[in-house]
Structure 1
Amino acid sequence: MSGKLTTHVLNTAAGHPAAGMRITLSRFDDETEAFREIETFATNEDGRIHSPLLEDTAFKAAQYELLFHVGEYYRNEQDQPEDSLFLDQVPVRFTVNDSEAHYHVPLLVTPYGYTTYRGS
């Protein structure tokens, strides 16, 4: 079995997947002691990315960050005025210890709050 990283975003305020949300994936670089961007994705109509964010040899034991661009999504999705938004970017930092496992990091989001967890 090869390891992989996946995500899924649900707009719980509207009761549907968060299609078109931009997500930036970064990995902690021990040399620079900072997170270094790997790639940026956009969710599909189901609130998912069509393929794993990372898999096989690209998926290493390390610290990662998924940066969910929630404010941008809600401005585009609901044409919300800038002063009515509470959340802008939601960073989720986590550690991968087993690069052979499946790490699924879902985000349940509203304009005012979010929940995340390690799914399956």
Structure 2
Amino acid sequence: MTSENRPFITCHVLDQTRGKPASSVPVTLQLVEPANTFDATFTAQTDDNGRVSAWTQSITPQDVVYRIQKDGAVPGTEKLKWRIVFETEKYWKGTQTESFYPEVEIKFYTDLAQTHFHVPLLLGPWGFTTYRGS
């Protein structure tokens, strides 16, 4: 996938206990701030490589940023706050693994400049780690 085709926000889930990608994890991405009058919630499921390469919604996260810029919805806004939720309970049940976290929620900021943002999640049944990827 070329950089022109990849979404503004992507993510990747790796199962640390198996050393493999975590597939079929439902993921929800939502714009938190600024609050909008249109629906800025996106859903996806990780693929066999543990990645979300497309969001299932009629508009994309990029479209949301364009609308905010075009409408001047929030003058002076330089950052957008997002929430991404990984619904891990189903994944762990599917691997017959007891876990502590039924879901993992991460809040993060992006800019309005359409820079690509990647949110990797290193997942274990008793803990998790995340960082800003590339």
Q: TM-score, normalised by structure 2?
A: 0.72
1:41 to 41, 44, 49: 44
Q: Which residue of 2 aligns with 1:27?
A: 31
Asked which structure has the greater CA Rg, the reply is: 2
Q: Which residue of 1 aligns with 2:63?
A: 57
> Matched residue pairs, number?
113
Q: Sequence identity, in percent?
A: 28
Higher strand share: 1
Report matched runs for 1:68-107 at 5 Å: 68-76=86-94, 78-80=95-97, 84-107=98-121
Paired letter, 1:46 = N
Aligned CA RMSD, in angstroms, stands at: 2.5
Long gaps (5+) in structure 1: none
Query: Greater relative contact order (Cα 8 A, min sep 6): structure 1 or 2?
Result: 1
- After superposition, the Cα gap between the structure-2 partners of 1:31 and 1:45, relative to the gap in structure 1 and judged at 3 Å, is closer
Q: Which residue of 2 aligns with 1:14?
A: 18
Q: Which moved more, 1:91-100 or 1:38-47?
A: 91-100
Give deviations 1:5-57, integer Å, cap 9, x for gaps: 1111100111100010011111115458xxx7612210000000233684533
Long gaps (5+) in structure 2: 67-78
Q: CA deviation at 1:79?
A: 2.4
Paired letter, 1:47 = G
| CA distance in 2 between partners of 1:98 and 1:44 (Å) | 28
